[in-house]
Amino acid sequence: DGGITQSPKYLFRKEGQNVTLSCEQNLNHDAMYWYRQDPGQGLRLIYYSQIVNDFQKGDIAEGYSVSREKKESFPLTVTSAQKNPTAFYLCASSIAHLETQYFGPGTRLLVL
Amino acid sequence: EDQVTQSPEALRLQEGESSSLNCSYTVSGLRGLFWYRQDPGKGPEFLFTLYSAGEEKEKERLKATLTKKESFLHITAPKPEDSATYLCAVRMYSGGGADGLTFGKGTHLIIQP
């Protein structure tokens, strides 16, 4: 079965801690994206990558970092600099940049 | 400022009662309008992509249409399993800027049996 997987489903962060959210796809898609979803707001773009070893900041990149060392993987690190990290994080991929995006199941991040 | 507005915010229908959801946009240089369905606690599920005014697409009880300023998602004879939040997103010509999708806040649809 081809698809996008995100792990963990729930993640708890302590003050001052960095945490990493996993996103893996076996769709052979070149482009991958990270969005954040907050109640009552639309999804907002954090980072995106059009190709391996390249990524671009989205609208709300401050406090986040990413890497794209493999085509299948696009992990997101929420750093201690992100002061309001509680949200639902969604990873997406598309066969190429500008094509239709398909989403993973999401990771809910909570702060202890 | 580019913007995507969905209305209504919430809609409650009886099973079989047809209706439409609206997505209006004020972006310049539209490069695609996308409809997604999202169930609680899950990722959005892709429904349709529309590229040009006058285009229509259908899937089961859903039909999406596009004009130069808005899109409609028509739901015909809905069933309780159609209950979900429906998201609209647009991609505009970015000219080299951040190039993801701009999402509306969604319409929360409830179909009562």
pLDDT digits (tens, 9 = 90+) for A33-67: 999 999 988 899 999 999 999 999 998 999 999 99
Report whether pLDDT(B95) > 60.
no
3-state secondary structure of B64: strand
Specify the pLDDT at position B97: 47
Report whether pLDDT(A69) > 50.
yes
Q: How many CB pairs under 8 A join A and B?
A: 60
Specify the pLDDT at position A112: 83
pLDDT digits (tens, 9 = 90+) for A4-38: 999 999 999 888 899 999 999 999 999 999 999 99
Specify the pLDDT at position B92: 75
List C-alpha distances in Å: A27 to A31, A66, A94, A95.
11, 20, 9, 8
CB contacts of A108 in chain B (<8 Å) are: 41
Q: Is the Cβ pair B41, A33 closer than 8 Å? A: no
Specify the pLDDT at position B93: 66
CB contacts of A59 in chain B (<8 Å) are: 98, 100
Locate the DSSP E strands across B30-96: 30-38, 45-50, 56-59, 62-66, 70-75, 84-92
| More confident position, A70 or B101 | A70
Nearest to B101 among A41, A101, A106 (CB): A101
3-state secondary structure of A51: strand
Residues of B with CB under 8 A from a CB of A: 4, 31-32, 34, 36, 41-46, 49, 87, 89, 91, 98-106
Residues 6 or more apart whose Cβ sits within 8 Å of residue A65? A76, A77, A79
CB contacts of A3 in chain B (<8 Å) are: none
> Could you give the CA distance from residue B80 to residue B61 in angstroms, rounded to a whole number?
12
**B43 vs chain A: nearest CA distance in angstroms?**
4
Nearest alpha-carbon partner for A47 in A69, A14, A4, A76: A76
Phi-psi region of B47 (alpha: psi -120 to 50; beta: other; left: phi over 0): alpha
Are the beta carbons of A9 and A108 closer than 8 angstroms? yes
**B32 vs chain A: nearest CA distance in angstroms?**
9
Report whether pLDDT(A79) > 90.
yes
Please measure the distance between the N-terminal and C-terminal CA atoms of chain A and give it in whole angstroms: 35
Nearest to A98 among B31, B41, B102 (CB): B31
Report whether pLDDT(B61) > 60.
yes
Specify the pLDDT at position B27: 74
List C-alpha distances in Å: A12 to A19, A37, B68.
9, 17, 44
